[in-house]
Amino acid sequence: MPLDVVHAGYLPLLDSASLVVAVRLGFAERYGLDLKLHRERSWATVRDRMSVGHFDCAQMPAPLPIAMSLSLGPLNTETFAPMVLNTGGNAVTVGNEVAAALKDEAPTDQSPAAIGAALRFAVARLSERKGRQIRFAVVHRFSCHNYDLRYWLAACGIRPDTDVEITVVPPSLMPEALSSGQIDGFSAGEPWNTIAVRNGAGAIVATKAEIAPNSPEKVLGTSRAFVDDRRDVCERLIKCLLEAGQWCDALENRPALAELMAEARHVAVDETHLMPGLTGELETAPGERRIVGSFLSFSCQGNRPDAGYARWLYRQMMRWGHGRADPTAASIVEKVYQPSVFGTATSADQAPSAGPTATFEPLRFSLFDDGRSNLLSK
């Protein structure tokens, strides 16, 4: 019997591993799928090729299907997220000048709250010295890198777009942009934080696993036609990606996974740059290491899409002026992270017992113990 062809876009990031493993280790073929991966350089290209029908599905930052469904970009199409591919995997890296200013502030510990408090003073001093805003880069406007960074900065008293500038740079270019002084810091997935540190360009100061623990990072974005007209294929794809994710998360497989992802056709970096992100043993600065628990997970309860998280992302879009607040938009957001396909693809007892509610209660990811958690609801 011929295999069902599925075209999927992805970026050369460590958290694309479940897609790569699904193809390279035969999980896709086992489920009757000929999964064809298309490696792209930027999320804008993934969005555009998805919008014009080149892809059936793609690895996407969690907010991107929402933005596409709300027509917030130049090219858009109704997009769903029937599965979360991974949680965690991102970090915030700052250049040497910012890192030195942080050390001068002597944060009391390495928690994001303490680092953020020190960063507030460092940003103020450096901005005055440079005569311009400190510039952070994120991988896309509609990305968790952007919204997690904005949440963290704002919670620590740094006003995004006022105290600091936030711009967009493709993830693979961020280490060079940092070392050349084009940016002062960035929020990106691995291995680009590790590479920046090892190139002597800066230091890792916070991670997504600490700022927004257990929250979705990349999702499987799909077209309406793929969900509606090829439902069986979509369900089989979810099953194979779940199995691939379990393989990726097994500790004994991490060295083999690093070797596989390092190949030129995938991330195309030395495999030693990939191991920190897979183990959570991060090299935060030259000669400095820190273990971050659950830094990157491919197989967990978070694989199931949660409409509550979509609502939280929608709130962040509205908070920063990136989306419109109206009942029509809210109703569209509710449909993007529907768990029904995931439920039928796995087992009956995982299917939702009722439809999503229309209330907008944000998920509580707060890491701060100083009363700033109410920022999540703004």
Residue 359 lies in a domain: no
DSSP string, 321-332: TSS--SHHHHHH
The CATH number assigned to the domain holding 17 equals 3.40.190.10
Q: What is the mean pLDDT of residues 254-266?
A: 98
Residue 100 lies in a domain: yes
Q: Tell me which long-range contacts 286-290 makes (C-beta under 8 A, separation of at least 24).
A: 286/197, 286/200, 288/203, 290/110
Q: How many Å apart are CA 170 and CA 139, to the nearest integer? A: 5
Residue 18 lies in a domain: yes
DSSP string, 137-190: EES-TTSHHHHHHHHHHHHTT--BTTTEEEEE--GGGHHHHHHTTS-SEEEEET
Asked if pLDDT for residue 25 goes beyond 60, the answer is: yes
Residue 374 lies in a domain: no
pLDDT at position 225 is: 93
Write out the residue range of the structural domain in which residue 135 sits: 90-213+286-291
H or E stretch including 207?
A: strand 202-207
pLDDT at position 242 is: 97
pLDDT at position 374 is: 39
pLDDT at position 18 is: 98
Question: Do 73 and 49 fall within a single domain?
Answer: yes
Question: Do 172 and 255 fall within a single domain?
Answer: no
Asked if pLDDT for residue 369 goes beyond 70, the answer is: no
Asked if pLDDT for residue 76 goes beyond 80, the answer is: yes
Q: Which residues contact residue 260 at a Cβ distance below 8 angstroms, ignoring those fewer than 6 apart?
A: 20, 21, 24, 266
Split at pLDDT 50, 70, 90, the class of 83 is very high
Q: What is the mean pLDDT of residues 12-30?
A: 98
Question: Do 73 and 107 fall within a single domain?
Answer: no
Q: Per the structure block, which two tokens stand in for 316? A: 């962040």
- 253 secondary structure, DSSP code: G
Asked if pLDDT for residue 214 goes beyond 50, the answer is: yes
Residue 174 lies in a domain: yes
- Residue-wise pLDDT for 312-363, tens only, equals 999 999 999 998 888 999 999 999 998 999 999 997 444 333 333 333 233 3
Please say whether the dihedral angle defined by the alpha carbons of residues 54, 167, 70 and 354, taken in this order, is positive or negative. positive
- Residue-wise pLDDT for 110-145, tens only, equals 888 899 999 999 999 999 999 999 999 999 999 999
Question: Do 112 and 202 fall within a single domain?
Answer: yes
Split into its structural domains, the chain has a count of: 2
Residue 241 lies in a domain: yes
Question: Do 113 and 200 fall within a single domain?
Answer: yes
pLDDT at position 358 is: 31
Split at pLDDT 50, 70, 90, the class of 287 is very high
